[in-house]
Chains A and B, each alone.
Chain A
Amino acid sequence: MALHIRLRQNAPIPLEASLSCRPGEVLAVFGPSGGGKTTLLRAIAGLFRPQEGLISCNGKVWLDTDKGICLPPQSRRIGFVFQNYALFPHMTALGNVAAAMGHLPSRQRHGEARKLLTRAGLDERLHPRKPAQLSGGQQQRVAIARALARDPEALLLDEPFSALDAALKKELLPFVSRLAHEAGIPVIFVSHAMDEVLQLADAIAILNDGRVAAQGPLEDVLSDIRLKPLTGRYDAGAVMHATIDGHDDKFKLTILRLKGGARLKVGQAQAPIGAEVRLRIHARDVGLALTPPWDISIQNILPGVVVDVQESDGHLADVLLHVGGTEPDAANHGTPLWSQVTRYSVSQLGLKPGSRVYALIKAISIARADLAQIQR
């Protein structure tokens, strides 16, 4: 049932990728601009023919260069959301969605399109409007509804939030996440913004110079410090699952429970108790101490064990620790956490694998963009 992609070419844009995406899974293709992300997506859609490749979806072969098979986009059941939405400018919002319903008898199309647009959160009053009379966010809703209108077997989104300002993006991310997961089909979206990836994706493939440098579940890949040059210096951090344990309404805080039982206070999050969230803690926001400090404003003091220390050529060092696991085997049961400190600190504290430390994390260092509720 899954979408399988294997591509290879040297020119005009070098590309070497081997990816899979299961139904109901959202795979982020992440990487710097010009890294071949959009080309990869276009090849899946059939808008671009790679030199060598094999793409199949739901058991159907879409591309097999060895056998000379390359189906046009019309014959691949895909939904594609373009970066600038590429709505049909002469059609109404409703017309845009109905136009993609060629598989339905024409008298059913408008009714179905209306339902789909309403599900996509576009008010019925706006259905007769043309794209130019809609805001960026409303256009995106139309574009997503149009992409789903074909009843696709895979959904592809090319930088769907890059044309939106930060406030709109915040409003639309949870909506897109919910819609993508509800669709129950493989969803691949391309992005160079980590906050979008955290909020939307279950798995990630990092594309660099056209080559997939790493792929796997989000938590595994983003916690792999060797990928820091690719995931971005300031995006370096650990990504982890947590459960909402409680809210402190008086001080506007939320308490999270990490795997292994450690608790973490962060600014109040809009998610019910028991909800699963994904959380990123930037390595540079994590300090280390050998004994738990008492008179300190930092609320989150988590006991842990050092697993790995990587010193850079400069003044920095990255320390991987596991926090909150059950003694004595914390390294295997806790939550991985990266800390970036100076090499001087590593030397002063004598940090090495096995050292027992306390991770110090300011509650306010975890911004709202670092926390995302997981849609299931």
Chain B
Amino acid sequence: MDWEALGLSLSLGGWTIAFLLPIGILAGRWLAWTKFKGKEAVEALLALPLVLPPTVLGYYLLVSMGARSPLGQAIEAVFGQGLVFTFEGLVVASVLVNLPFAIQPMQRAFEAIPREVREAGACSGLSPWRMLLEIELPLAWPGILTAMVLSFTHTLGEFGVVLMVGGNIPGETKTVAVAIYDRVQAFDSEAAANMAALLLALSFVTIGISYVLGNRRSPS
């Protein structure tokens, strides 16, 4: 059992949803309530990670964040180090890959809030900030929770992008999913089986929790 890899995976999942929570709320609300030209294009772009092979995504991230790209050079100039083959780079990649898992459930949740209820909030004198905290988030929270659980679980299992962007550096970019592959390659099937079972159990429990909470909310 590679505990370091497990810790890294959980940490990556935690950082990913920490970034995705505000991003998802803002983007989900925006897409739920705003009509604009080219909205379908934006939605399609955000949904791309669902269908694109992780290696393709990983390749583009590698190229765009690499030391030879303008973006990579700018990052290196500001932070003193690049993103490729680092934990920070993994977080950036993971956030991008998980955008559809975070935004789509939140968008549906915000869409489900009746327009009149939001208008009633405005007519009751609630400021946009109070509207968000007292009306929108309490009504949309099952969707937000689903989004967080999906993103977290998906991050634990992400393999292709991690390998492309992060490589396989123990303690830095070697997550559980990569470690399993690593162990299989080394014919250490016992360690691979243990980690696979753990990942399976962890994913089942987190997804299960989201269903239990979702069902408890749905009758209202």
Contact B123 A73 (CB under 8 A): yes
Q: With A and B bound together, what is the CA distance between A88 and B122 in angstroms?
A: 12
Contact B120 A149 (CB under 8 A): no
Contact (A47, B117) CB under 8 Å given A74-B127, A89-B139, A90-B138: no
The stretch that binds B, out of A29-37, A98-106, A205-213, A312-320, is A98-106
Interface assignment of A342: CB less than 8 Å from any CB of chain B:
no
Q: With A and B bound together, what is the CA distance between A46 and B124 in angstroms?
A: 12
The stretch that binds B, out of A77-85, A230-238, A322-330, is A77-85
Q: With A and B bound together, what is the CA distance between A337 and B130 in angstroms?
A: 55
Within 8 A of B (CB), among A134-148: 146-147
Q: With A and B bound together, what is the CA distance between A79 and B123 in angstroms?
A: 7
Interface SS, A side: loop
Residues in B with CB closer than 8 Å to A130 are 220
Interchain CB contact (< 8 A) of A150 among B116, B124, B135: B124
Closest beta carbon of chain B to A86's beta carbon, Å: 4
Q: With A and B bound together, what is the CA distance between A73 and B124 in angstroms?
A: 8
Residues in B with CB closer than 8 Å to A149 are 124
Interchain CB contact (< 8 A) of A47 among B119, B126, B135, B138: B119
Residue of A nearest to B217 (CB): A90
Interface assignment of B22: CB less than 8 Å from any CB of chain A:
no
Residues in A with CB closer than 8 Å to B126 are 74, 99-100, 102
Q: With A and B bound together, what is the CA distance between A102 and B124 in angstroms?
A: 8
Residues in B with CB closer than 8 Å to A102 are 124-127, 130
Closest beta carbon of chain A to B4's beta carbon, Å: 43
Residues in B with CB closer than 8 Å to A83 are 116
The proximity string for B residues 99-118 relative to A, scoring 1 for CB distances below 8 Å and 0 otherwise, is 00000000000000010110
Interface assignment of B134: CB less than 8 Å from any CB of chain A:
yes
The proximity string for A residues 36-54 relative to B, scoring 1 for CB distances below 8 Å and 0 otherwise, is 0000000001110000000
Q: With A and B bound together, what is the CA distance between A45 and B116 in angstroms?
A: 13
The proximity string for B residues 123-167 relative to A, scoring 1 for CB distances below 8 Å and 0 otherwise, is 111110010001100110000000000000000000000000000
Interface assignment of A87: CB less than 8 Å from any CB of chain B:
yes
Residues in B with CB closer than 8 Å to A46 are 122
Closest beta carbon of chain A to B126's beta carbon, Å: 7
Interface assignment of A132: CB less than 8 Å from any CB of chain B:
yes
Interchain CB contact (< 8 A) of A78 among B114, B123, B138, B220: B123
Within 8 A of B (CB), among A270-285: none
Give the interface centre of A102, A103, A130 by most chain B CB atoms within 10 Å. A102
Contact B125 A103 (CB under 8 A): yes
Q: With A and B bound together, what is the CA distance between A72 and B122 in angstroms?
A: 8
Q: With A and B bound together, what is the CA distance between A89 and B134 in angstroms?
A: 11
Contact (A47, B122) CB under 8 Å given A86-B117, A89-B220, A99-B134: yes
Q: With A and B bound together, what is the CA distance between A79 and B121 in angstroms?
A: 11
Give the interface centre of B117, B120, B121, B134 by most chain A CB atoms within 10 Å. B120
Residue of B nearest to A76 (CB): B123
Residue of B nearest to A84 (CB): B116
Q: With A and B bound together, what is the CA distance between A149 and B134 in angstroms?
A: 17
Residues in A with CB closer than 8 Å to B117 are 86-89
Contact B120 A87 (CB under 8 A): yes
Closest beta carbon of chain A to B156's beta carbon, Å: 32
Residues in A with CB closer than 8 Å to B130 are 102
Contact A86 B114 (CB under 8 A): yes
Q: With A and B bound together, what is the CA distance between A72 and B121 in angstroms?
A: 12
Contact A73 B220 (CB under 8 A): no
Interchain CB contact (< 8 A) of B124 among A47, A84, A89, A99: A99
Residues in A with CB closer than 8 Å to B123 are 45, 47, 73, 78-80, 147
Residue of A nearest to B128 (CB): A74
Q: Would you list the 8 A-B pairs with minimal beta carbon distance, nearest first?
A: A100-B124, A86-B116, A80-B123, A73-B122, A86-B120, A73-B123, A102-B125, A90-B138
**Extra inter-chain contacts (18) besides given A82-B120, A103-B125, CB under 8 Å:** A47-B123, A72-B122, A73-B123, A74-B122, A78-B123, A82-B119, A86-B114, A86-B116, A88-B117, A88-B120, A90-B139, A90-B220, A99-B124, A100-B126, A102-B130, A130-B220, A146-B120, A149-B124
Instruction: List A residues at the B interface (Cβ < 8 Å).
Output: 45-47, 72-74, 78-80, 82-84, 86-90, 99-100, 102-103, 130, 132, 146-147, 149-150
Task: Please list 24 pairs of residues, one from A and one from B, whose beta carbons are closer than 8 Å in the complex, sorted by A's number.
Answer: A45-B123, A46-B122, A47-B119, A47-B123, A73-B123, A74-B125, A74-B127, A78-B123, A82-B119, A86-B117, A86-B119, A88-B117, A88-B134, A89-B117, A90-B138, A90-B220, A100-B125, A100-B126, A102-B124, A102-B125, A102-B126, A102-B127, A102-B130, A146-B124
